[in-house]
Amino acid sequence: MFSAQACIQHIIPKTRPDFSREGSAFAPVNIALIKYWGKRDTELNLPVTDSLSIGLRTLGTRTRIRWTEGEDNISLNGELLPSDNAFVKRTRQYLHYFRPNPSLGFIIDTHNDVPTGAGLASSASGYAALVLALNDLCQWQLNKTQLSILARIGSGSASRSLWNGLVHWHAGTQADGMDSYATPITHQLPSLRVGLLTLSRKTKPISSRLGMQQTVHGLSLYPAWKPMVEQHLSRLQTAIAAQDIAQIGAISEHNALSMHATMLSASPALCYFLPETIATLQTLWQARSEGLACWATLDAGPNVKLLFDAHEEAAVTACFPKVSIVQPFG
Ligand code: 2P0
């Protein structure tokens, strides 16, 4: 077992804090088309399988960071958070890895475009923006592979939020995780649209972190997940190369629902859906049976993301008037 501290110290150069500097960065939210669900190492966030995502380009997290002598001071969306807040505790624990000495703290000001902890991938863009801002503050000049590894140790899905467009996180096989990082995919899908249906902004009752453990250790259908992901990933890569949005949508929906099926099969069962989630899926499936070319993906939360081609935009909006549409490729 390798510790997160040892892996991080292996990557970051030793630098002296420059108190006059400020670091800042933006990282996009990413939505997985092939999901990350389950870890082979919980300290390093090493996944059981590869995953593949799409960045939401302009939606994400903006973070500014400075040094301070003493306690960390963390603001989220303009509000200074108390030190017993769960978001602050988790962020501080991660920041400990980067302090040259324990008495030094950070002043962090971070803004999320999506609700925090509601299954809309805020931890992915959050940890990616934090790592990029630290790289700027400390002038490490690390490459994207090294940054992806650092972000992954903060939150697994953050390894994918350093790029826009399609991104592939390679699970790797090494115990120290030095081969578990993301790489961008060169293919573009200019006509792909992602529709966000925010059905709830509440923080989810069970974090992804605990939910994954419950599924992996819960005598569930989880053993079927790894071979299924391998098959879905290979089919998705073929569909991406062919720019086949119908296939991309269908494979992504199947992968997301398969992930939720493994959660439901855990003991105790894990269900992130609300009644509105099921109602939305039923509306979608009915519309699809009548010809709408649109598919859904869902993460560890009740909100639904739609995948469709630009030429379906009007029909999708007619079916889901509250949808917010993102053009991942501009
Ligand atoms: C994903 N999710 O691939 C999957 C799909 C949720 C469902 O990555 O424990 O917040 O910090 O590594 O990255 C959410 O998991 O979990 C996630 P940690 P993370 O987007």
Position in ligand 1 atom list of the atom nearest CA 156: 12
Position in ligand 1 atom list of the atom nearest CA 256: 5
Residue 156 C-alpha to ligand 1 middle, in angstroms? 6
Q: For residue 259, which phi and psi values (nearest 5 degrees)?
A: -60, -45
In short, whether 32's Cβ falls inside 6 Å of ligand 1 is yes
Pairing of strands 294-298, 166-169: unpaired
Q: Give SS3 for 310.
A: helix
In short, whether 97's Cβ falls inside 6 Å of ligand 1 is no
Residue 141 C-alpha to ligand 1 middle, in angstroms? 27
**pLDDT (0 to 100) of residue 115:** 67
8 A C-beta contact, residue 51 and residue 232: no
Report the DSSP beta bridge partners of residue 184: 167
Residue 251 C-alpha to ligand 1 middle, in angstroms? 19
pLDDT in tens, 203-237: 777 888 899 998 888 778 999 999 999 999 999 99
pLDDT in tens, 23-56: 999 999 999 999 999 999 999 999 999 999 999 9
Q: What is the pTM of this model?
A: 0.96
pLDDT in tens, 66-77: 999 989 999 999
- Mean pLDDT (the chain, rounded): 94
In short, whether 45's Cβ falls inside 6 Å of ligand 1 is yes
